[in-house]
Amino acid sequence: MSAIDSLPPLREVIARHELSARKALGQNFILDLNLTARIARLAGDLAGVDVLEVGPGPGGLTRGLLAMGARRVLAVEKDPRCLPALAEIAAAYPGRLEVLHADALAIDPLAYLNPPIRIVANLPYNVGTELLVRWLTPPVWPPVWQSLTLMFQREVAERIVAKPGSEAYGRLALLAQWRSDARIVLSLPPEAFTPPPKVHSAVVHLTALAAPRFAADPAVLNRVVAAAFNQRRKMLRSALRGIAPDIESVLVAAGIAPTARAEEIGLEQFCALARLLKT
């Protein structure tokens, strides 16, 4: 019996189902169920909440989410080897766990859930950033999810919460901070995982804002930010020349020096620039 439920310890589950983590799938398992329960608690009160989990593996975080009271968990798992272990968890929590054998990049898992919805996941390293960008750029805002509580490599986590002028500041920070409150809530060493990755990890909690911090057309803002950071350390008048022939005058109108570089410009100024470029 484990520390949080009546199911066997994860090491026993992994040994019985021969679930060695696969690097090709970006898998690194957390075996400490007290730690997975702690991560689940970082998502807030889960009573009455549907939770999306991507890449549950043998189900450590899944068990934490259910033990912490999630109304229902949808676990999207690409690796068929993990399905029998997840089925055992579903049997222990009747009607509260649905396992979807699918690639989270190929489907819309949020369509399977009912509000209120939160996303909590130890994301596979090879798809984490792409999934985050998708969740931050839905066609309509506010999104169907209330919050994201996600495990990333520490370097990626720092990029999400970075401020202007820092080396980590870039497109990911702007996308996240335009529409959400983002903060690092937990750091983990490689030894917390099996097998230990070569890097440290961190959990980022993002709470959706009712409306973006500053008005801007999402498509225009994304295009401007992508072009600006495509050539870091290049002056904006050069980096954005392909977007508008009179870019210098547009930058000045937005309160931005044409000789400034993208990493020096804050979110409010980028949004002002996007509004001018849409007109």
pLDDT for position 125: 79
Distance CA 188, CA 184 (A): 11
The length of the chain is 279
pLDDT (tens digit per residue) in 193-232: 988 889 999 999 999 999 999 999 999 999 999 999 998 7
User: What percent of the chain is helix, strand and coil (3-state, nearest 5)?
Assistant: 40, 20, 40
pLDDT for position 3: 75
pLDDT for position 2: 67
pLDDT (tens digit per residue) in 15-69: 999 888 787 777 788 989 999 999 999 999 999 999 999 999 999 999 999 999 9
Is the Cβ–Cβ distance between 32 and 2 less than 8 Å?
no
Which ranges constitute the DSSP H helices of 125-258? Answer: 128-136, 154-161, 171-179, 218-230, 236-239, 247-253
Q: What 3-state DSSP class applies to 213? A: coil
pLDDT (tens digit per residue) in 112-169: 999 999 999 998 878 999 999 999 999 999 999 999 999 999 999 999 999 999 999 9
Q: Which amino acid is at 95?
A: G
